[in-house]
Amino acid sequence: MQWIADSGMCATERERASAVATHSADFFARFAPVADEDRLLAAALWVYWGFAFDDARCDSGPLSSRPAQFNALAGQVQRACETDSAAGTDRFVGALQDIMRRFRGFAAPTQVSRFVHAHRAWLSGVAWQIGNQAAGRMPSLDDFLTMRLLSSGGEPTFALLELATGAQVPDHELHRPAVRALTEMAILVAALDNDRHSLHKELTSGESDQNLSVVLMQERSCGLQEAVTAGTALRDRVLLRFVHLHDRVRPTASTELAGYLQGLRHGMRGNNEWGLRVPRYLRDGRWPDETDDTLPTWAEEPSDSRPGPVEGAPSLAWWWDADLA
């Protein structure tokens, strides 16, 4: 908590309290329970930084509907991620550079480079999201899911797995289409779970236009409850495909890849557990009414177990290719 106060990234006490309330150390410890403390600390600091940046510069800050200004800032922030010599006046730049120095102090260059590329992917997705907001554009389901793979921050968050555990997955394994598909599916499952957790807060604050349920309401001309049900079914089908493909890839995986795949599994479950209790998703400082049937709950079985690609999402259809494994 002292690092957050000293980093300079929070302009007010309220911002500092909001950053602390993300419980980011608890969040990422669920992704990488085998990480040693120093590596886990550095990874958790980036998560704290990411949530603070998201709140102040992406979701609801002054740049949240100004794509040109955000893109200029994103370029500076990304360069600060890439090199310690980059100069930037934004208050988030110095804090990010401190985190990156920690990464470079204990991680192999390949691991750091993978994180840097994942960081760029995240910022590109946020730029897409802000462009939609500025234009008042409601994306199609396919566009939304593709955007969410990037804008959710899942790329850098799962790239932290190697940094936190120290295990470097060989290139020929990490870049296999099946492993890439598993990574994308884990990102999307976590992103859609977050959409479900944050739905009430976003509806209350008027920031729900980039949420799966609202996209489905437009796409299918349906009400909120039907959209929530459809979104859950979509998420469950992706998770089932993850499980089936994982079980085909895992038996021949190296020790490093097996650890990475387990991190994907830990991440999906841990993100959901964290989202059920973190103050970030509270509305007006309290939990929504427990009788509300749009609230997320645990289920004993998937709500939709149909095989094959999700309808209306051709950009994701390749995850179901029969020859992936």
Sequence-separated (6 or more) residues with CB below 8 Å from residue 145: 188, 313, 315, 316
pLDDT for the residue numbered 325:
76
Rounded to two decimals, what is the model's pTM? Answer: 0.95
Structure tokens given for 84: 């310690």
Structure tokens given for 316: 């994701």
The per-residue b/e assignment along 284-310, b for 16 or more CB within 10 angstroms, e otherwise, is eeeebeeeeebbeeeeeeeeeeeeebb
Could you give the count of Cα atoms lying within 13 Å of 19 in the half-sphere of its Cβ? 28
pLDDT of residue 284 exceeding 80, the answer is no
Coil/strand/helix, residue 139 = coil
Structure tokens given for 107: 């991680």
pLDDT for the residue numbered 293:
53
Least confident of 36-45, 192-201, 228-237: 192-201
**Average pLDDT for 77-95:** 96
**Average pLDDT for 310-318:** 97
Question: With helix as H, strand as E and coil as C, how does 236-293 read?
Answer: HHHHHHHHHHHHHHHHHCCHHHHHHHHHHHHHHHHHHHHHCCCHHHCECCECCCCCCC
pLDDT of residue 292 exceeding 60, the answer is no
pLDDT for the residue numbered 202:
82
Alpha-helix residue ranges (DSSP H) falling in the chain: 2-7, 13-20, 24-31, 37-53, 67-82, 91-106, 109-135, 141-151, 154-165, 171-174, 177-205, 212-220, 224-249, 255-275
What confidence category does residue 241 fall into, taking pLDDT thresholds of 50, 70 and 90?
A: very high
- Is residue 261 within 8 Å of 178, Cβ to Cβ? no
